[in-house]
Homo-oligomer: A and B are copies of this chain.
Amino acid sequence: MNADFRTRIENERFLVVPKASTKAQVIFVVEDDADILRLIQHHLKSAGFEVVGFPTSSGALEQAARQHPALFLLDIMLPGESGLDLCRRIRQNHKLEMTPVVFLTAKGEEADRVAGLELGADDYIVKPFSPRELIARIRAVLRRTQRPEKPAIIQIGELEINGEAMSISVGGAPVSTTPTEYRLLEYLASHAGRVFTRDQLLDAVWRDSHFVTLRSIDVFVRRLREKIEPDPEHPLYLKTVRGVGYRFERSAAGESASA
């Protein structure tokens, strides 16, 4: 009856032959409270990040210059140099100035928060925070900052996705989509060639509201097919991967129906 649940295909211990190894992103955390530090490390790790923790800001900058973390997570109140000061130094360092910074603030330190944002922080998280919020915000910041070269326009076959205008056209003819349709298509197209389970798509496209049935995705795929596929019954772009999920075909050259 409810078959939705089992859409997960774990590649468990399938050995993997070298290819572009997906490097886990490194996050530097500076937090003096050992318990909280451990907590943060735990959550970030289980979210797939690599974490380097520091009890004080001393040494963090130097190591960062070598290791180039993807993001700094700084407590504002620190013994010795404060998080704000560290942030300032990060912003002045040529190699690190583009690295995003997220602040941790205790409830009520409104003033600090403002100061932090003025220093060029990318976000702030108020303690106590939920793990979900922590991960979500960090991912959001990374998403935002980490693609300087995100192509504004994706072109695959006849299909064109204009990220700036948030518009879509097929063979030159504009196609109107609803917001969610657009996000789904953009996500799949910008990761063309890769399979996504419905779970993953929910995570990526629906963001926070996970209160949606997995099957809803099928409906959006259908409607997108009706809009962009020459023949919705034999999709050129939006392929079904049975038992797994969906994939945007990378090379939508000219294959049509097959055996």
A186 to B165 alpha-carbon distance, docked (Å): 17
Query: Would A17 and B130 count as touching, CB distance under 8 A?
Result: no
Q: Is the Cβ of A36 less than 8 Å from the Cβ of B118?
A: yes
| 131-184 of chain A: CB within 8 A of chain B | 131-133, 135-137, 139-140, 143-155, 162-166, 178-179, 183
Interface residues of A (CB under 8 A from B): 1-6, 8-22, 35-36, 39, 42-43, 46-49, 91, 97-98, 100, 114, 117-124, 128-133, 135-137, 139-140, 143-155, 162-166, 178-179, 183, 186-187, 190-191, 193-195, 199-200, 203, 210-211, 241-244, 247, 250
What are 24 A-to-B residue pairs whose CB atoms are below 8 Å? A1-B1, A5-B47, A5-B139, A6-B48, A9-B166, A9-B183, A10-B146, A10-B148, A11-B148, A11-B163, A14-B186, A17-B152, A17-B154, A17-B190, A22-B150, A139-B199, A143-B199, A143-B203, A162-B193, A165-B195, A165-B247, A178-B243, A179-B243, A179-B244
